[in-house]
Structure 1
Amino acid sequence: MLESNIKAVNKDIKVLLKDAQALFSAAATLSGEKAEEARARGMKLLDTAMVAAQDAQASALATGKEMANSTDAYVKENPWSSIGVAATAGLLVGLLCCRKS
């Protein structure tokens, strides 16, 4: 779920940034009131992109905290199995690192 949300937000941000670039390019050739209107629309698009990025960051942070809390609860409920898993993982990493090529 989180991965699909991040992909959707990234896609939306890319589209918004391309639109903003196009508006700013058009505003460079315009003058007066039309240029100001194009700049305002571009700034609105950039603000929308920033809000989407902040929402994605907040979602990722909340999910990370939730995962950390559930892991902490599991380790407190099952300390010996957690120690066994950690020791096994350490042993495997040690064997892979010390293996002769």
Structure 2
Amino acid sequence: MSLFKREDQQARADRIRDDLHDIGEQGQALGRDLRDDAQDAIEEARIKSEEQYSRMAVDARRRNRRFKRSANQSLNNCDRYVREHPWSSIGVATLTGAIVGLLISRR
């Protein structure tokens, strides 16, 4: 082998080594970029979920207050009706108990 061929082979080997090194660095840079993008996406998703949770919590509290108000109003109306019409209330309760008893006994 001549001296020139060895130098050419060495130069090609050096270029290949440099190319592989560059590919490795590019892969690492790509990995860092992907990691950073993923962290940004995760942070954005966390912020959105916290905002949605806050909205849902406010809505749930509002609905809970509305339900309690409605339940209290219904309870007061029922109590008032029973006090104003005690005998008809006793009759309805007796009839309801009899119907439930019949349905249960058929099983």
Structure 1 runs of 4+ aligned residues shifted over 6 Å read none
Provide the aligned C-alpha RMSD in A.
2.3
Q: Aligned with 1:75: secondary structure?
A: helix
Q: How many residues align?
A: 71
Unaligned stretches of 5+ residues in structure 1: 1-27
Partner of 1:71: 78
**Matching of residue 92 in structure 1 with residue 99 in structure 2:** yes
Considering only CA atoms, is the larger Rg found in Structure 1 or Structure 2?
Answer: 2
**Matching of residue 30 in structure 1 with residue 35 in structure 2:** no
Unaligned stretches of 5+ residues in structure 2: 1-36
Give me the TM-score of the superposition, normalised by structure 1: 0.59
Give me the TM-score of the superposition, normalised by structure 2: 0.56
Partner of 1:80: 87
Structure with greater contact order relative to length (CA < 8 Å, sep ≥ 6): 1
Say which of 56, 75, 100 aligns to 2:63: 56
